Amino acid sequence: MIARNASSVQGISIIVLFPLTFLSNAFVPVNTMPDWLQWVVNVNPISHLVTAVRDLTNAGTVGGDLAFSLIGAGVIVAIFAPLTVRAYMRRT
């Protein structure tokens, strides 16, 4: 509701997701990173999503990372859905 058009929403999304992707285990194994960066990577939700997808595709197993990713997505929706509806109702 803050952005004026779809391309603005896409730009804002990239600004948020770009650093999170590079601070995850998507490209480099966690054990090769410095200790301080390992902590950041281990709390990054993108890392949990990547690990869950890897577990599902490689071994076909469902682990705690999938649950963490789904719970995280649910928390984000629970926080931002009411805020978005409220902003929409003010605007109309």
Taking residues 31-43, what's their average pLDDT?
Answer: 94
Please tell me the predicted confidence (pLDDT) of residue 1: 62
Residue 23's SS3 state is coil
Q: What is the CB neighbour count within 10 angstroms for residue 69?
A: 19
Helix and strand numbers (H, E) in the chain are 4, 0
Give the predicted TM-score (pTM) of the model. Answer: 0.77
**23 near 41, Cβ under 8 Å?**
yes
Q: What is the pLDDT of residues 41-81, one digit of tens each?
A: 999 999 999 999 999 999 888 888 999 999 989 999 999 99
User: 89: which DSSP letter?
Assistant: H
**By percentage, how much of the chain surpasses pLDDT 70?**
99
Residue 18's SS3 state is helix
